[in-house]
Amino acid sequence: MKQDRQPRAAAGRLRRMSRAVQPFLAESWLNGLGAVIVVLILLLAVFGPLLAPQNPDQVNLLAVLQPPSVNHWFGTDSLGRDIFSQVLAGARISIEVAVIILSLSVVFGTALGIMSGLAGGLVDEIIMRITDLFLAFPGFILAAAIAATLGPSLQHTVLALAVVFWPWYTRLIRGQVLSLREREFVLAARVARAGTMWIATRHLARNVLAILIVQVSLDVGYAILATSSLSFLGLGAQPPSPEWGALIASGRSYIQTAWWWTVFPGLALALTVLGFNLLGDGLRDWIDPRLRGSLVGGVQE
Amino acid sequence: MVTVIARRLVFTVFVLWGVTLVTFFLSRVVPGNPARLMAGPQASPSAIAHISRLYGLNDPLYVQYGRYMRDLAQGNLGFSFLTRRNVRTDIATFLPATLELAGYALLLGFVLALVTGTVAAYRRGKAADAAGRLTAIAGLSVPVFWLALLLQLLFSTQLGWLPLGGRLSPGMAPPPHITGLLTVDSLLTGNFAIFVNAVEHLVLPVVVLAAGVYGLMVRVMRTSVIDALGEEYVRTAEAKGLSRWRVLRRHVLRNALLPAVTVLGLEFGLLAAGVFVVESVFQWPGIGNYAFQAIQANDYNATLGATLVIAVIYVVINLIVDIVYLYLDPRIRYT
């Protein structure tokens, strides 16, 4: 009996989820396109190595610079490595890197934002002036300078980009906390003598979640793009890493004879970023009814 | 309003000071010995020690920072070991090239976004609207360096229509320096051959940079045109029997252009990142390429100077945007 109930509960949950997702997908076919690309990329990042026809590091000097064919869908590089397998391996790197950069910035930025918004006064002033200082730099230039200072590697790029991203989250979350802390449910919690920690974790964190998800989904694309740009400039992942930016940088010297080496990794990168940006943009519109395509959607909500 | 601007100015000074602090310490913790770079690869240890003493590189960091700030107050940005010139001279040489590139990119992106955003707003929910949104997001999603390489491959090496990089063809002498912008200077001196050559060199990098500008601006234009279309004055203008074009030009666009000012600050951040990458791919002799080479070569004075100039422009643009917006929107002014 019990075994029977579990799948039924799971199916119910799935049905509820799909009911929640349907209006979002119906809003615009672009939302659907974004969602499909993102799901596909996530699947490739997880199962890519199983699908890869070859080991991405496998050198084959008898098949160097082969154009795309049945054996090598995306062709081969100057050492005969299969570019399709490398692009698949690169998908995992890009997703991993984006997850780490955003986890670091979200955790650090949100904690500081909640602290700043709840504490007020001098603490708020100090935290906000520091974030302003970081936001005063064009982000990419600051990240490039930090990555160069620490020495070119993927880990340092991740750290540099996390340094650039966190202040945006602090500012966003502080603004949310300032508007939430005067709301009835927080005041009620205060009257009930709930501690600041309790209010922060039980009441505030949950309520800023929606806006946080939208911001993260918008930033994933940018994090992936910035990582690849730094790698392309030689400040991030170094060859022979199959990171997409590093792949394009290696292919650049062969672009006249072996265009596929530059084109396919770039296409994968562009599509991935497009997918996340479409999804993030759609989610933002969905959360903010003022921006929605039709008034009807706004009223329904 | 005066107090708001005064507060904003004080804050800008604080931010600029912070910028010097962050860039200075970042540039001094770089692994590698700047004295060795200055002295050259074949220098003896005693020569390196001499240079370290000469430039005070052995002093504690706060002493070095104090000296840097004193020089900065006098407009002295130090000496670049890479170009063997004053950093100030270098920046004066390279900045106009970047301003020319970024200026045209901003203009192109803005005009395209104005058209697309307006069409999308009028055809809200239709295919044209979706196409506008898709191209805008694509403009923000396409990797700048990849697009640059593809356009180079297609238009320079395959078709041979446009030059591969640089500001002018080799052997072409730049026009006399008036503004430093080649397209302007060549026209002012009546040299059309140089003008055409400079424009040919500008096309590809400008198109690549404009993609991001366009992507960011379309959304703002669409939203503000939609807002303007819902206003009473537009309905009145339509009721008066004005032609659609006249309503658009005189009433809708005039009001819809205001919000575009607010994204200028963001646009500049995007352009700064784009310039960094685009100048490197197109061998454009601008400040982004200069900064990139300085970073790679551990040339700390040049790195510091270029970063500082970019950050100062960024901060000043944001200040101007805030003040302009304050002026344009009375609701902010009086609160």
Minimum mean pLDDT among A121-130, A249-258, B34-43, B291-300: which range? B34-43
Nearest-by-Cβ selection for A137 from B142, B143, B311 = B311
Minimum mean pLDDT among A3-12, B86-95, B169-178: which range? A3-12
Tell me what the mean pLDDT of segment B247-267 comes to.
79
Query: Would you call B61 an interface residue with chain A, using a CB distance cutoff of 8 Å?
Result: no
Minimum mean pLDDT among B37-41, B138-142, B220-224, B240-244: which range? B37-41
- Measure CA of the first residue to CA of the last residue in chain B; give whole Å: 9
Between CA A50 and CA B202 the distance in angstroms is 45
**Residues of chain B neighbouring A218 (CB-CB closer than 8 A):** none
Q: Give me the pLDDT at residue B33, please.
A: 66
- Winning range, highest mean pLDDT, from A13-17, A141-145, B85-89, B170-174: B85-89
**Residues of chain A neighbouring B23 (CB-CB closer than 8 A):** 145
Q: Give me the pLDDT at residue A299, please.
A: 28
Q: Give me the pLDDT at residue B37, please.
A: 66
**Interface predicted TM-score (ipTM):** 0.85
Q: Which chain B residue has its CA at the smallest distance from A28's CA?
A: B130
Q: Do B314 and A136 touch (CB under 8 A)?
A: yes
The predicted model scores a pTM of 0.86
Q: Do B146 and A269 touch (CB under 8 A)?
A: yes
Nearest-by-Cβ selection for B26 from A138, A145, A248 = A145
Q: Do A274 and B137 touch (CB under 8 A)?
A: yes
Q: Do B146 and A137 touch (CB under 8 A)?
A: no
Between CA B261 and CA B314 the distance in angstroms is 14
Q: For chains A and B, what is the number of CB pairs under 8 angstroms?
A: 135
Q: Which residue, among A76, A48, A97, has the nearest Cα to A243 in the 3D structure?
A: A97
Query: Would you call B6 an interface residue with chain A, using a CB distance cutoff of 8 Å?
Result: no
Q: Give me the pLDDT at residue B32, please.
A: 60
Nearest-by-Cβ selection for B269 from A139, A229, A269 = A139
Q: Do A145 and B295 touch (CB under 8 A)?
A: yes
Q: What is the pLDDT of residues B207-229, one digit of tens each?
A: 999 999 999 899 888 888 888 88
Question: Which one of A28, A87, A94, A149 would you mutate to disrupt binding with B, by most B Cβ within 10 Å of its Cβ?
Answer: A149
Q: Which chain B residue has its CA at the smallest distance from A129's CA?
A: B15
Q: Which chain A residue has its CA at the smallest distance from B146's CA?
A: A266
Dihedrals phi, psi of A131, to nearest 5 degrees: -65, -40
pLDDT tens string, chain A, 301 residues long: the values are 455 566 677 777 777 777 777 777 877 888 889 999 999 999 999 998 888 888 888 888 888 888 999 888 898 988 889 999 999 999 999 999 999 999 999 999 999 998 998 888 899 989 988 898 888 777 888 888 888 888 889 999 999 999 999 999 999 999 888 888 778 888 888 888 888 778 877 777 777 887 888 889 889 999 999 999 999 998 899 888 999 999 999 999 998 899 999 999 999 999 999 999 999 888 887 776 554 443 333 322 2
Residue B79, beta-bridge partner list: B86
Q: Give me the pLDDT at residue A112, please.
A: 93
Q: Which chain A residue has its CA at the smallest distance from B307's CA?
A: A141
Dihedrals phi, psi of A76, to nearest 5 degrees: -130, 165
Q: Do B141 and A277 touch (CB under 8 A)?
A: yes
Question: Which one of B98, B146, B150, B309 would you mutate to disrupt binding with A, by most A Cβ within 10 Å of its Cβ?
Answer: B146
Q: Give me the pLDDT at residue B335, please.
A: 43
Q: Give me the pLDDT at residue A20, please.
A: 72
Between CA A89 and CA A73 the distance in angstroms is 15
